[in-house]
């Protein structure tokens, strides 16, 4: 059990965080080696199913490497066109909201299901939520009611795999009725791990954490732990919720990947919120960073009950255009290190096909969120790095604008990429690059100002 925990922690941990942990023990090393062998075997069997013998390698994330990812804007636009979210496959233009909902949107969903993120199976078992503990406590100066929850997935059809969704919920202690809640996809950190904090100043008061900013407004917050129900590696694809539904067998090429599995869990958390009178379930938003930024975009696209999305540094596989030759590429996500996020079919676009062969692109993922508000967040290219491709994410939002406009909303409002710290928040698709690193942290105040236009604490 302990070793399982360690391996889950290590493999679920992105490299940018792993760097903070120091040396590994020999036990941890051998566990990782075993997991990697299992991942490689799963990857190879997926390539065999796809009848692919070779894939193109992605560029390096190290800007000094000889094969460094492109960071030159002049070389980024190697594509000549993007799929049009408002043209049907038969060539007809989509002119009405009805045609969007009944004809075009289902076409786009089908393409994303089959080629990019995979399909959620029809027979996913139900979840029984258990409130493990409820406690009155404080978060800083804010009295809260804190609940620890576990969603037990019914595994009667395959008892060898047990799946539990871990969730926590904090709501203002004095709230008289259900409050709006932002749910965050939470990374699991080893005991004692602390995120590096900005240097403290003796004059300025410590800034409010994102949780406290929410409590200050009378909202609550929740954290869902995606790796509790689907591991963040290829080795785990025959386990977790994906493995349970497949009865421990490997995926088919259009089966769901981890991003859709994580989003499925977020939907189940929302089912729970609908039963908890402390939550206003019609006003629940979702937030996540990096791989969980991708999961946030997928969640918003596929789950209409989420009211608002805060999509942090989602990069390739998120809202960054797949066709852009800048920063991380399709080939990277299609590699054995990251393919588990996606449908197996996604690997085809790293050989023999090309990203330009994709029937959809990331702007259409944003379009699937319409008409609900989405805030696309990024750090500073100089601090966060260019791997996430901030401009590619901006364009993913900007090119979704026509769909929002068709539905009577406002898109991004411009096609001009703004300077750092210039918030584009006049429309329903928002964008801001903060001046910090790989975090949504500095964008929370701007996100919350924007969210105020949509989400309200009900009068008591």
Instruction: Report the interface residues with ligand GCU, using CB under 6 A.
Output: 14, 16, 290-291, 315-316, 328, 332, 387
DSSP per position, 81-108: ----TTB-TTSPBP-SHHHIIIIIHHHH
Give the residue among 33, 35, 28, 55 at the shortest CA–CA distance from 44. Answer: 55
Give the residue among 6, 24, 41, 51 at the shortest CA–CA distance from 353. Answer: 51
CB of 180 to ligand GCU, least distance (A): 27
CB of 373 to ligand GCU, least distance (A): 22
Nearer to ligand GCU, 210 or 339 (CB): 339
Nearer to ligand GCU, 292 or 450 (CB): 292
Q: How far apart (Å, rounded) are the C-alpha atoms in residues 102 and 133?
A: 44
Q: How far apart (Å, rounded) are the C-alpha atoms in residues 6 and 27?
A: 9
User: Token match 């800034």: residue?
Assistant: 207
CB of 105 to ligand GCU, least distance (A): 26
Nearer to ligand GCU, 57 or 218 (CB): 57
Q: Is 140 left (phi over 0), alpha (psi -120 to 50) or beta?
A: left
Sign of the torsion angle spanned by Cα atoms 363, 365, 368, 370: negative
- Strand-pairing partners, residue 183, are 222, 286
Nearer to ligand GCU, 243 or 315 (CB): 315
Sign of the torsion angle spanned by Cα atoms 219, 209, 226, 286: positive
Q: Alpha carbon 319 to chain centroid distance? A: 10
CB of 440 to ligand GCU, least distance (A): 12
User: Token match 């938003």: residue?
Assistant: 285
264 within 8 A of 118, measured Cβ to Cβ: no
CB of 58 to ligand GCU, least distance (A): 9
Nearer to ligand GCU, 232 or 278 (CB): 232
Tokens of 135: 């406690």
CB of 236 to ligand GCU, least distance (A): 16
Q: Alpha carbon 331 to chain centroid distance? A: 19
Residue 332's contacts (CB-CB under 8 Å, 6 or more residues apart) are 58, 59, 61, 316, 338
Nearer to ligand GCU, 14 or 351 (CB): 14
SS3 306: coil
Sign of the torsion angle spanned by Cα atoms 61, 62, 67, 72: positive
CB of 328 to ligand GCU, least distance (A): 5
CB of 292 to ligand GCU, least distance (A): 7
Length of the chain equals 460
Give the residue among 81, 65, 54, 1 at the shortest CA–CA distance from 352. Answer: 54
203 within 8 A of 284, measured Cβ to Cβ: no
Relative to beta strand 164-172, strand 220-225 is antiparallel
CB of 387 to ligand GCU, least distance (A): 6
Nearer to ligand GCU, 14 or 207 (CB): 14
Q: List, edge to edge, every strand of the sheet that includes 220-225.
A: 127-139, 142-153, 164-172, 220-225, 179-185, 279-289, 308-312, 374-378, 429-433
CB of 314 to ligand GCU, least distance (A): 7
CB of 388 to ligand GCU, least distance (A): 7
Relative to beta strand 179-185, strand 279-289 is parallel
CB of 302 to ligand GCU, least distance (A): 19
Tokens of 204: 């300025």
Q: How far apart (Å, rounded) are the C-alpha atoms in residues 87 and 263?
A: 28
């Amino acid at each position: 059990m302990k070793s399982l925990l360690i391996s889950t922690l290590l493999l679920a941990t992105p490299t940018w965080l792993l760097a903070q942990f120091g040396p590994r023990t020999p036990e941890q090393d051998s566990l990782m080696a075993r997991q990697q062998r299992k991942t490689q075997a799963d990857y190879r069997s997926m390539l065999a199913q796809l009848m692919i013998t070779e894939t193109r390698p992605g560029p390096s994330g190290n800007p000094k490497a000889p094969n460094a990812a492109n960071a030159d804007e002049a070389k980024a636009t190697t594509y000549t066109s993007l799929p049009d979210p408002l043209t049907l496959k038969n060539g007809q233009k989509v002119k009405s909201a009805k045609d969007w909902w009944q004809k075009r949107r289902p076409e786009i969903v089908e393409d994303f299901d089959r080629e990019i993120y995979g399909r959620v199976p029809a027979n996913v078992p139900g979840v029984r939520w258990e409130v493990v503990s409820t406690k009155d406590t404080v978060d800083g100066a804010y009295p809260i009611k804190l609940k620890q929850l576990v969603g037990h997935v019914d595994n009667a059809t395959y008892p060898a795999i047990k799946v539990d969704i871990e969730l926590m919920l904090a709501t203002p202690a004095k709230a008289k009725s259900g409050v709006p809640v932002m749910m965050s996809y939470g990374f699991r950190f080893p005991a004692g791990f602390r995120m590096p904090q900005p240097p403290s100043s003796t004059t300025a008061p410590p800034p409010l954490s994102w949780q406290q900013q929410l409590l200050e407004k009378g909202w609550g917050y929740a954290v869902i732990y995606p790796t509790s129900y689907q591991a963040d590696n290829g080795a785990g694809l025959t386990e977790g919720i994906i493995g349970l539904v497949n009865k421990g067998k490997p995926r088919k090429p259009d089966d769901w990947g981890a991003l859709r599995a994580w989003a499925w869990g977020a939907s189940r958390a929302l089912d729970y919120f609908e039963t908890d009178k402390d939550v206003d379930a019609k006003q629940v938003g979702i937030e996540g960073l990096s791989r969980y930024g991708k999961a946030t975009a997928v969640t918003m696209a596929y789950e209409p009950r989420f009211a608002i999305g805060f999509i942090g540094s989602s990069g390739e596989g998120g809202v960054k255009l797949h066709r852009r030759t800048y920063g991380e590429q399709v080939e990277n996500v299609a590699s054995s290190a990251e393919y588990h996020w996606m449908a197996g079919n996604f690997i085809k676009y790293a050989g023999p096909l090309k990203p330009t062969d994709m029937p959809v692109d990331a702007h259409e993922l944003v379009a699937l969120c319409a008409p609900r508000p989405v805030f696309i967040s990024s750090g500073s290219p100089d601090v966060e790095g260019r791997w996430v491709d901030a401009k590619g994410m901006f364009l993913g939002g900007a090119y979704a604008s026509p769909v929002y406009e068709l539905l009577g909303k406002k898109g991004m409002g411009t096609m001009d990429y703004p300077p750092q710290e210039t918030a584009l928040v006049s429309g329903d698709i928002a964008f801001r690059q903060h001046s910090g690193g790989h975090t949504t942290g500095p964008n929370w105040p701007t996100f919350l100002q924007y969210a105020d236009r949509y989400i309200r604490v009900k009068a008591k």
